[in-house]
Structure 1
Amino acid sequence: MSDPTDRPEPTDAASPQAASLHAPVARLLRPLVRLFVARGITFPALTDLLRELYVNVAEYDFALAGKEQTDSRVTLLTGIHRKEVRRLRGAGAPVSQLPGVVSRTSRIIARWIAAPEFTDGQGRPLPLPRLAEEAGPSFEALVAGVTRDVRPRAVLDEWLDRGLAVLDDQGRVVLLEGAYLPRGGGEPQFSCFGRNLHDHVAAAVENIMGKAPRFLERAVHFDGLSQTLAERLEARGREIAMDALRQANAEADAACIDDPGGTHRWNFGIYVFREETPPAITPPAPVATA
């Protein structure tokens, strides 16, 4: 006789609230599924990942105060049968942290383009001598002001190798990127992809599930545009966004000087997007029958 706990738990029909999420979730997931297919993440592999996430979220985010979370309750919340719940509980959410090299590079560049001692009168990053010259700014001082775990020379070698900086004819370090934009589909880009999309979605979910909107999550949207206007608005949107990001970065960098530090983090993100939308399809008129 088979163990009844091996059988999938019966599932009820979707509630009206769950049903109302189907269309927006399908739209949300479509570009992700496109990425999954392009990068070889198959449906069975995604199912395994989702199963583990469902169990982890139910175990930790939906625990009752003062009560131990049980396999049965996790099964009730997720629809995953108890045998799988028992196997997966305690495995930990498969969520990667931002790699140290990505985080460190971002922080150094953020300081270079924000701190007054490392920028010119127009807010552009100054070319920096590798070593300190009297009391002036230097690449060594820039790196040391962010981390002492890695030697400035090692950071410089890494940046030169990755094309983030070059040495000019005076031997000064020149930043080639105004902001850290990892490319090429490697781990740094995927890590930023996961962090930024996570924070955007988390803010939107918190606003839906909370008693009142907690986070700012807004967009300006126009459709029915010509390609020329859409491209012009995209370019202008980039300019506005970069101005806002530079200002936010500068103010945050200055505020961190006197901050005692703690366990919180803050993210200020902006996106600009455009696409050609297909014309609406009008269903054919019903054909009258005799």
Structure 2
Amino acid sequence: MSDTPQDPFEKALAALLAPLSRAMMARGVTYGSAAEALKRAMLQAALDQLAAEGGNGRISDSKISLMTGLHRKDVKRLRDDSAQCEVKRTVSAAAMVISYWATAPDYLDNKCCPRRLTRAADDAGPGFDDLVRQARIDMAPGTVLQALIEQGAVAEEAEGVYCLKAHTLLPAGGGAEQVAAYEATLSAHLAAATDNLLAPPEGRRHFDRAVRYSHLSEASVEHLRKMSAAKAQELLEEINAEARKLQEADEATQSDADPKRRFVLGAYILPAPLADKTPSTPEDTE
């Protein structure tokens, strides 16, 4: 028997994979498909790590195999595979268009509500096609509009007149668009948490906190859910409007060669039955 203590991350890994495994089983994803996805992820992690360490020139398949435990033939096969995900691109474009439509002054009425748009500019101001260009979306406006209509975020009120029905893109359950949104949301949060886990003791950490209570009645949980949802939505809309203004200002002053940075703010609420022995005390972790 080995005297080497088990890395606590190994135990945490099973808990982290539990909800993913539940989603996999519901979607009919087998272990073989999951193993293939893990191979791709470990390959990319190795490439990113070596790049961050200042690796120059082409990194050999053998070195990546040694770092990850992947077979060299798998490394070569995966490095040669350059498949792209068009659905993810469409979801990102649709979300950005909604953001601009809900916050940009040119697309708001005198009550600061998103105004109805025609495809082309009219007496009221710029149209939907102008909106797509202003949001810097490299896709055909008709494609973006159709995606928004299919997801219920936009409706055609009269012939050629469109209105914004939701300030947030909520893809239809189980569809490819929802899977892309699921990926984008969870990957960003997990990346932030992983950066914090790997940060040196005095290193900078991302803001990542949660409040947890475990001995509440159903009525109390529902009260907290409604309160949290309202406050989180208010914060997200406020940050969304500010981020759009800052991005427009940055685009006016920065050159194409200037580095671009990403900002993500998310929120989640989990009302659930008691499933463990977590003490009835608030916790926040950073």
* TM bucket normalised to smaller: 0.7 to 0.9
2:45 to 54, 57, 61: 57
Tell me what 2:98 maps to.
109
Tell me what 1:277 maps to.
274
Distance in 2 (alpha carbons) for counterparts of 1:230 and 1:266: 31
Higher CA-based Rg: 1
AA matched with 1:233: L
Tell me what 1:231 maps to.
222
1:56 touches 1:92 (CA, 8 Å); kept in 2? no
2:68 to 68, 78, 82: 78
Structure 1 residue 84: deviation in Å? 4.8
Structure 1 residue 50: deviation in Å? 1.8
Aligned-CA RMSD value: 3.3
Percent identity over the alignment is: 28
CA shift in 2, pair 1:203/1:278, >3 Å: closer
Tell me what 1:206 maps to.
195
2:120 touches 2:129 (CA, 8 Å); kept in 1? yes
Find out whether 1:24 has 2:6 as its counterpart: no
* TM-score relative to the length of structure 1: 0.77
Distance in 1 (alpha carbons) for counterparts of 2:140 and 2:276: 56
CA deviation profile, 1:85-106 (whole Å, cap 9, x unmatched) = 6645634698857633222211
CA deviation profile, 1:28-47 (whole Å, cap 9, x unmatched) = 11111001111111123222
CA deviation profile, 1:35-67 (whole Å, cap 9, x unmatched) = 111111112322233234334423442465457
Q: Where do 1:189-200 residues align within 5 Å?
A: 189-200=178-189
Structure 1 residue 240: deviation in Å? 0.8
1:130 touches 1:172 (CA, 8 Å); kept in 2? yes
Structure 1: segments with no counterpart, 5+ residues: 1-11, 281-290
1:182 touches 1:189 (CA, 8 Å); kept in 2? yes
Distance in 1 (alpha carbons) for counterparts of 2:116 and 2:239: 22
1:55 touches 1:85 (CA, 8 Å); kept in 2? no
Greater mean alpha carbon deviation, residues 105-114 or residues 181-190? 181-190
2:118 touches 2:128 (CA, 8 Å); kept in 1? yes
Greater mean alpha carbon deviation, residues 196-205 or residues 157-166? 157-166
Structure 2: segments with no counterpart, 5+ residues: 278-286
1:163 touches 1:176 (CA, 8 Å); kept in 2? yes
1:183 to 151, 172, 175: 172
Q: Secondary structure at the match of 2:121?
A: coil
Tell me what 2:261 maps to.
264
Tell me what 2:116 maps to.
127
CA deviation profile, 1:66-125 (whole Å, cap 9, x unmatched) = 577555554443344x55566456346988576332222111110011112323466432
2:153 touches 2:165 (CA, 8 Å); kept in 1? yes
1:131 touches 1:140 (CA, 8 Å); kept in 2? yes
Distance in 1 (alpha carbons) for counterparts of 2:59 and 2:98: 44
1:244 to 208, 211, 235: 235
1:166 to 146, 155, 175: 155
Distance in 1 (alpha carbons) for counterparts of 2:49 and 2:276: 42
Tell me what 1:217 maps to.
208
Structure 1 residue 274: deviation in Å? 1.4
1:113 touches 1:125 (CA, 8 Å); kept in 2? yes
Distance in 2 (alpha carbons) for counterparts of 1:77 and 1:97: 31
1:74 touches 1:85 (CA, 8 Å); kept in 2? no
Distance in 2 (alpha carbons) for counterparts of 1:104 and 1:201: 22
CA deviation profile, 1:200-224 (whole Å, cap 9, x unmatched) = 1111111111222431111122211
CA shift in 2, pair 1:22/1:95, >3 Å: farther
2:149 touches 2:155 (CA, 8 Å); kept in 1? yes
AA matched with 2:214: D
* Number of equivalenced pairs: 267
Tell me what 2:27 maps to.
39
